Structure 1
Amino acid sequence: MSNQASAREAVISAPLPAEFSPRAPFAADPATSRGRLVPEPDSAPRSPWQRDRDRIVHATAFRRLEAKTQVFAALDGDHFRTRLTHTLEVSQIGRTIARALQVDEDLTEAIALAHDLGHSPFGHAGEEALDACLQGFGGFDHNLQTFRILTRLERRYGGFDGLNLTAETLEGVVKHNGPLQGDVPAPVAEWHRRQDLRLHLQPSVEAQIAALADDIAYCSHDVDDGLRAGFFRPDELRTVPLAAPVVDEVTALWPGLERGRLAGEIQRRLIDRMVRDLLAETRERLAALHPGSPDAVALADRPCVAFSPAMHEAVVQLRTFLRDRVWQHYTVNRMTRRAKQILRALFETFFEAPECLPEEWRSRAGAAGSQACAEAVRDYVAGMTDRFALDEHDRLFRIARTRP
């Protein structure tokens, strides 16, 4: 290597000065990462969690999120949230919180970007349909499907299946809803025997941030989407304690504001209120616990990242409003019913006739009606986008009409 090339490599490999990367004592430290199941050389310009983030962004499952339903079917309009845009909003909110708390932004972002990879087509309707189809074969849970994608189903690398992520990123994804208590799903338990995921401890601060950023994102953007879709009027939000002062503030500042701008101003203020409350409550909890290391967070008897009790109740009330006015709106219910019919028909056809699967999946399925067949069909159908599921349904069931 030439002197010039050596100098360039030294610059790339040099860590940032401390003043550019403040780190709280309880923040996860990439220098002490528990590493990957399959050892790999370090990537000089990136921390382990930057590398995890990059692998997630380049994953096939990540690209498919663009055409998967959040609440509104991905084909219903170009401006409603999809799983991908939801995921990006979770990531943005998570990084903001992580920076304010001086913890690792890259780990927070990696967990946020991965958290919904396992969602089936057509949102929760698709998940419910697959879960019903898979009774007797382990059911279906999108969080567990995310884990399968990250550890087995993604096939981009020569040396391993999955993405070979660090233990900290996988731990954060697995514990999206908190520590795993009681029976641990078999794929997670088997992996845990090879790579310690500290399943029964509290998630890292970074993982806790990603989980609550998810709540903040979907509560606020479903208000935005619901207003834009005309599912409710702005004045109806005044029945929701968290939203009422926001609506009053926006309408006082801009009387008669057009619907799109009004929705955007309401959403951004909802995010701001939830994030500010979360930061205040979290700082109080951290001050009381005074954790000197990430392990102190893991061993705590409750999460460190949280809303205040008053905000928690306000978010519950907002969710109730959204359930009644958006998630169970009759147009969403129609989509839900149709989506369940489509996924049930797809699953039953492939489960009873695995010879109808594409070659790669047919070789995995084995005999019709077997456990292996159920698992192969689960992974094939769950990985579909809304559009692909509709196309597969048409290919299987549409009767071609010919002129006499």
Structure 2
Amino acid sequence: MNLARYACDPAASRGRLHEEAMSTFRSPFQRDRDRIIHSSAFRRLKHKTQVFVEHEGDYFRTRLTHSIEVAQVARTIAGSLGLNQELTEAVALAHDLGHPPFGHTGEDALQALMAPHGGFDHNAQAIRIVTALERHYAGFDGLNLTWETLEGIAKHNGPVLGPLPYGLEEYNRIHDLELRTHASAEAQVAALADDIAYNNHDLLDGLRAGLFTDPEVETLPIVGPAYAEVDAVWPGLDHKRRRHEALRRVFGVMVTDVIDTSRRLLAESGARDAQSVRDLRHSVVRFSTPVWQEIEAIRAFLFSRMYRAPSVMEERVRVTRVVEELFPFFMGNPGRMPAAWQEDVARAEGATALARVVADYVAGMTDRFALQEHARLIVGRG
């Protein structure tokens, strides 16, 4: 693998909290990626959704399909920039592990419920999952990921400023992730790949759901020219193929812009190594200003026509109630949590400690399981 000087070199990794022998066949970052893929939390992403609840249709994205798409985009960008693709992929695959059921709606509900107990943050919860809640290995809790992967999960969206959220603060005391600096260029790529993936697949999911039409999205920047290009090359194409060809071009515009802009920024930065990237006072993986402004217009359209669509808002009310009723139920009846959680319950001293255990349990639920448990325990009073 020919890496640029500012890439993260696995041979120079800062290592793991719990020392392990090197793998014979895999680099440290490959090993991280594989552990993430084999984790329970990653498998549960199959039944966690972005915007729509899981049961609404097989064609809509889940957190799992989204994470795979993000990883694919991230590897492409990282490879073009001479960055470490394995580290980039590991961060991309792990970036949504901390999301609770029902997408951002579930997170908003948990944030409100946990406000008296230190709050809830999905990035911090992802760190909690990969450092404590995954309990499969004989020698340690969590996945014992490398410092670079943990750093990327914690701060791929930028430096973590202000009071540290619960989960991140506790871990950072024993394993300093240098949260006040920017992350590696690899982690920055994962963050931009997330933006690219969800903007594109939310357009497609919204079209499939009938929340808006092809003529309406053709009025948007980037999207409209993409449809026009398809019509010029393939006049009379059936609407499904026309839509697919247009949206793959939208993907291409965004990816190409990130690569071109970031290549220039990395060259101008004078970064000599991966640490130099962290020490800069700005990110080096970005969209150009004109393309970012066009993406903002697409995001504004999606916000009003999809994320705040009447049918979606109605569903938000319903699933918010599910989380709001499950949480106090388990606070009052911790013995009703599964046997695997009872040791944590027994160790919890005080309301805040118990609330953390309940939050970990509820946050780990899939959409389907949360709905089933709510029907069994709350509606049916089982």
**TM-score computed with the length of structure 2 as normaliser:** 0.96
Say which of 358, 366, 369 aligns to 1:385.
366
**How many angstroms does 1:282 deviate by?**
0.7
Contact 1:227 1:263 in 2 (8 A): no
Structure 1, 315-324 or 285-294: larger mean CA deviation: 285-294
Identity %: 50
Which residue of structure 2 lines up, in the alignment, with residue 46 of structure 1? 26
Across the aligned residues of Structure 1 and Structure 2, the Cα RMSD in angstroms comes to 1.8
What is the match of residue 336 of structure 1? 316
Question: 2:151–2:177: 8 Å Cα contact kept in structure 1?
Answer: yes
Are positions 1:361 and 2:361 aligned together? no
Q: Which digits, 9 at most, give the CA deviation of each residue in 1:33-63, with x for residues without a partner?
A: 0000000011011000000000000000000
Residue number in structure 2 paired with 1:88: 68
Structure 2, unpaired ranges of 5+: none
Among 188, 194, 200, the residue aligned to 1:208: 188
SS of the residue aligned with 1:136? helix
1:25 paired to 2:5: yes
Unaligned runs of 5+ in 1: 1-20
Q: Which has the larger radius of gyration?
A: 1
2:113 to 115, 121, 133: 133
Ranges of 4+ aligned residues in structure 1 off by more than 6 Å: none
Shift of 1:287: 1.7
DSSP-derived class of the 1:140 partner: coil
Shift of 1:399: 3.8
Q: Which letter maps to 2:373?
A: E
Aligned length: 381
Deviates more, 1:96-105 or 1:295-304: 295-304
Shift of 1:116: 0.1
Q: Is the 8 A contact 1:238 1:244 kept in 2?
A: yes
Spell out, residue by residue over 1:4-36, the C-alpha distance to the aligned partner (whole angstroms, 9 max, x if none): xxxxxxxxxxxxxxxxx2110111000000000
1:86 is displaced (CA, Å) by: 0.3
The Cα shift of 1:165 comes to: 0.3
**1:84-233 paired onto structure 2 within 5 Å:** 84-233=64-213
Secondary structure of the structure 2 residue equivalent to 1:134: helix
Q: Distance in 2 between matches of 1:171 and 1:267?
A: 32
Q: Is the contact between residue 365 and residue 375 of structure 1 (CA under 8 Å) also seen in structure 2?
A: no
User: Which stretch of structure 1 is more off in the superposition, 281-290 or 247-256?
Assistant: 247-256
Q: 1:349 and 1:186, CA in 2 relative to 1: closer, same or farther beyond 3 A? A: closer
Are positions 1:295 and 2:275 aligned together?
A: yes
Aligned twin of 1:270: 250
In 1: Cα distance, 2:44 partner to 2:239 partner: 30
1:82 Cα offset (Å): 0.3
Residue 385 to residue 279, structure 1, CA distance change in 2 (3 Å) = same
Q: Could you tell me which amino acid in structure 2 is paired with residue 389 of structure 1?
A: A
Which piece of structure 1 moves more, 291-300 or 190-199?
190-199
Deviations along 1:117-173, one digit per CA (max 9) or x if unpaired, are 011111111111111111201121111111100110001101100000000000000
What amino acid is the match of 1:286? L
What's the offset of the Cα at 1:368? Answer: 9.9
Q: Identify the residue that residue 346 of structure 1 maps to in structure 2.
A: 326
DSSP 3-state at the match of 2:248: helix
Q: TM-score, normalised by structure 1?
A: 0.91
